[in-house]
Structure 1
Amino acid sequence: MTGNAVLVIADDLTGANATAAGFARDGLRAVTVGADQGAGVVAEFASRFDVVVVSTDARHANPADAAARVTETVRAGWPVKLVSNRIDSTLRGNVGATTEATLKAVAAESGRRAVALCMPAHPQAHRQTVEGAQLLDGVRLEDTELARDPRSPVHQSGIAEVLRHQADLRVTHLPLSLVTGPADAMRQAVREQLAGGADVIVADALTTDHLDRVARAAATAGDADTVWVSVDSGPGSVALASALGITRHAEGAPVLAVSGSATRLTREQLAKLCDELPVSVVRTVPGPEGPDVVPDVDATAAALDVALSTAGPDDVVLLATVLDEADVVDLDPGAAERIPAALARVVRRSLERHTVDGVFSTGGDITAALFAELAAHGLDVQEELVPLAVAGTFVGGPWAGLPVVTKGGLVGDADTTVACVQHLRRAAEASRRHVRTAQSRVSITTPIRRTT
């Protein structure tokens, strides 16, 4: 399966946010998408984030509508490496309908057999699964106040019964005796249940370690014809993603440095950057006006795309108009005005297709052009690294929250650009541990959420 990492479909926004936070703690870039957003927004964010958590707001919808929202979301976010149906930890809502819809949609998109690993336990929130029943603080759900919930009363805690109430699914069970026993025995049990035609495997769990053990058993028991779908309350998805090798693979992305300055100090700083850090240099491609004047946006964007596609997470991709004295030319006012705008368009096109850990810009005109082209409302200033070199994050626009450092072309000393890029690395590492809020670039036409 190709594509980005994880698509989570939650039936309410609070559950979506909590699940996204769990993935963010494991180092993946997670974003939540509200039910009022269209399928185009889901597709766009799937190309920009490691984990997209979509709230369909379907907990209290009729089962058919809840299933339809799930199907639409899977289609919009595909392809991904893992799809999760995030259910309520107390089994309220359309658990069976959404699970069946998720399995059918994943099977249709992947062309493979989809099987659900159902781990609804949330140990840190005192939700446990024992003998296939969901407990709240050790009490069956039907014996708690949830039985009197005005919108979705819970009358039973048996997970298989809840699933079968809305769906025709073959449900099997991994008891606590297997979950806590030898790993080989649990793995063999999973293989036997798969061979027996299980649609859903429900696993007992009291602790997060139990969830991890179940996930590892499933990940190693499946075959090439089987694709796992997670059905859980949040932690199970994180455990299965890790077991499948998804969570820990996110090591970051390149830093993009953009220089529109021709000053001698800037040239010294860029030379020091190339000497001290792994840098892929992208030179602007001359446009029809002649060499070294206004860049050709299409050709330069293509070159930048190649560099970003091949760059590693520790690399810096440098887009520069001038690197040495031979590049310095006299510009007429018109060309001097058009160059920053052209560079900014190049950057926008590439950022629409590639993830970066941060953007460094040097030169006042290019910085202003970037803010305008990327539709940033401003900069959330965090600190001044050196006088007139400022670090922060974009405010507003499609790249809100992206770490940024800006400085003038005559600012700092020879080491300043290296220091700015290293600051971006540290900021990006911290940023990956937070759930993102982001603005889409597409118009919202048809929301996922429908009137029931």
Structure 2
Amino acid sequence: MKMIVIADDFTGANDTGVQLAKKGARTEVMLSAAQKPSRRADVLIVNTESRALPAEQAAHSVGEALASWCERATPPLVYKKIDSTFRGNVGAEVMAAMQASGRHLAVIAAAIPSAGRTTQKGLCLVNGTPLLDTEFASDPKTPITSSRIAELVALQSELPVHEVHLDDLRRGRLSALLKAWADEGECMVVVDAVEDRDLMLVAQALCEQKQFPLMVGAAGLANALPVSLFMQEQQALPVLVVAGSMSEATRRQVDRALCEGRADVVDIDASRLISSSFSFEIAAVAEQACAQLSRQHHTILRTSRSAQDRQLIDELCQAAGMSRQQLGEVLSQRIGEITLKILAQARVGGLFLTGGDIATAVASALGAEGYRIQSEVAPCIPCGTFINSELDDLPVITKAGGFGSDSTLCDALYFIEEMYCGH
């Protein structure tokens, strides 16, 4: 995830988020800070529903929503979405966002020219009329007391608030002014904008700062941001193959992929997986697989190397005191646990699951409620997604153990690679 947007109401979260989504960003709006985005989200938008709250409570909500994200080794950029007519707790929420994100400079550009909301000489105008002379001044929940943005912000903040008027913006002075004020200490900067091109100049100046400032605005500024700020670079991610079938067909498919250098393999020791120390085998397999996936190698988890492995089943059953059915259930469940552990640590581009018991166990481990079929990789081999699972809509290919030709696994890897190239 590259950017987090903190909004104070649901519709505002959506009208700002759509500016990013329409440029291709995977944009997800959370109704509370407790929710989690999907693994492939570019932009997370959290609605704190704090516009009408007391200022102190609103600030706490913003800080709480940002805390876990801004403590990460590589924190996302932060966009504080505000109302374009400055209703709500703008000063308090911007202060809280600055503190949580460790930013000393906040740039406030709330204009939405296409909606008649502009900023001139530091004043908020609605269709050319100063804010205080519009209906927003008597808003039933959050009435407005001034047309000057700096005054509205200062009601809930003691930081200096500077203004950059249109002439300085269009002469290209914004970047230098931001640098100078940032060197002086913490502050907020209100920037004029009456056309979309003005907001693009603001976005350009933001990108020129040594430390990226806190972005504060509405849909207009969001629309002006370059996609590099909020979209992850598209890359083909490695596929995790869980080959839990002992069929000859699956072994040939795995061997073919290995011979052609299409994937690496991690072998699972079934005897260790059913022993009392099975947790060590789970950890060791997951660690090896994650290391290979981190190098962008397709990775195969293999439970059977040769036809002779079938002859060992009775020995395993006897050693574990289990029936064949019980043995299969335990192995499948623990392979599901391995898969979940890997997916929690590594970024993958898709799953290939061979063997019905294994596919079911992995689906269960991921909390899936079903499988949505979308296409066919080869005859009787579908590609789809798990419904309501930890994987969101990651491609998942399933295959019965005995199905397919020797090239089926290679074909499936190519199929997922092409899905990425097509985006």
**Matching residue of 2:79:** 84
State how far apart, in whole Å, the 1-side matches of 2:304 and 2:368 are: 26
CA distance, structure 1, for counterparts of residue 119 and residue 269 of structure 2 = 61
Structure 1 residue aligned with 2:246, among 262, 281, 284? 262
SS of residue matched to 1:221: coil
Higher Cα radius of gyration? 2
Q: Which residue of 2 aligns with 1:303?
A: 288
Alpha-carbon offset, residue 177 of structure 1: 2.7
Counterpart Cα distance in 2 of 1:65 and 1:254: 44
Aligned to 1:8: 5
The Cα of 1:208 is off from its aligned counterpart by: 4.8
Q: Work out the percentage of aligned pairs sharing the same amino acid.
A: 30
Q: Give the SS at the match of 1:76.
A: helix
User: Is the counterpart of residue 339 in structure 1 residue 331 in structure 2?
Assistant: yes
How far does residue 285 in structure 1 lie from its aligned partner after superposition? 4.7
Following superposition of structure 1 onto structure 2, how do residues 79-158 of structure 1 map, counting pairs within 5 Å?
A: 79=72, 80-107=75-102, 114-123=104-113, 125-158=115-148
Aligned residues: 407
- Which structure is richer in relative contact order (CA contacts within 8 A, separation 6 or more)? 1
Q: Secondary structure at the match of 1:152?
A: coil
Q: Find the aligned partners of 1:326 and 1:237 in 2 and give their Cα distance.
A: 61
The aligned runs of 1:242-321 (5 Å cut-off) are 242=227, 247-249=231-233, 251=235, 253-274=237-258, 279-285=263-269, 287-288=271-272, 296-308=281-293, 310-312=294-296, 315-321=297-303
Deviations 1:103-145 (A, max 9, x none): 12223xxxxx521122223455554333333344554444444
Distance 1:370 1:180, change over 3 A: same
Cα contact 2:69–2:76 (8 A) shared by 1 = no
Q: In the alignment, is the contact (CA less than 8 A) between 1:74 and 1:102 conserved in 2?
A: yes
Question: 201, 207, 217: which is aligned to 1:232?
Answer: 217
1:156, distance to aligned residue in structure 2 (A): 3.9
Superposition pairs of residues 22-421 of structure 1, within 5 angstroms = 22-35=19-32, 38=34, 41=35, 45=37, 49-78=41-70, 79=72, 80-107=75-102, 114-123=104-113, 125-182=115-172, 185-197=173-185, 199-222=187-210, 226=211, 228-234=213-219, 236=221, 242=227, 247-249=231-233, 251=235, 253-274=237-258, 279-285=263-269, 287-288=271-272, 296-308=281-293, 310-312=294-296, 315-322=297-304, 330-332=312-314, 333=324, 334-421=326-413
1:27 shift after superposition: 4.9
- Cα distance between partner residues in 1 of 2:119 and 2:10: 24
CA contact (8 A) 2:25 2:42 kept: yes
Instruction: Sort the Cα spacing of 1:232 and 1:348 in 2 relative to 1 into closer, same or farther, 3 A.
Output: same
Shift in alpha-carbon separation, 1:382–1:187, aligned structure 2, 3 A: same
Equivalent-residue separation in structure 1 for 2:50 and 2:242 (angstroms): 44
Deviation at 1:69, TM superposition (A): 0.8
Cα displacement string for residues 165-185 of structure 1 (whole angstroms, at most 9, x for unaligned residues)? 221121123333333334xx4
What does residue 447 of structure 1 align with? none
**Could you report, residue by residue, the CA deviation over 1:64-83 in whole angstroms, capped at 9, with x for unpaired residues?**
11011112122232221322
Shift of 1:349: 1.5
Cα distance in 2 between the residues matched to 1:398 and 1:424: 19
Q: Any idea what the Cα deviations from partners look like across 1:358-389, whole Å, max 9, x if unmatched?
A: 32212211111111111110012223343322
Native 8 Å contact 2:62 2:97 kept in 1: yes
Q: CA deviation at 1:402?
A: 3.0
Change over 3 Å in CA distance of 1:353–1:165 after alignment to 2: same
Stretch deviating more after TM superposition (155-164 or 47-56): 47-56
Distance 1:92 1:426, change over 3 A: farther
Give secondary structure in 1 for the equivalent of 2:76. strand
TM-score, with normalisation over the residues of structure 2? 0.82
- In structure 2, C-alpha distance between the alignment counterparts of 1:207 and 1:363, rounded to whole Å: 59
Q: Distance in 1 between matches of 2:2 and 2:271?
A: 38
Change (3 A) 1:276 1:220: farther
Structure 1 residue 340 displacement after superposition: 1.9
Contact kept, 8 Å, 1:13 with 1:57, in 2: the verdict is yes
TM-score, with length taken from structure 1: 0.77
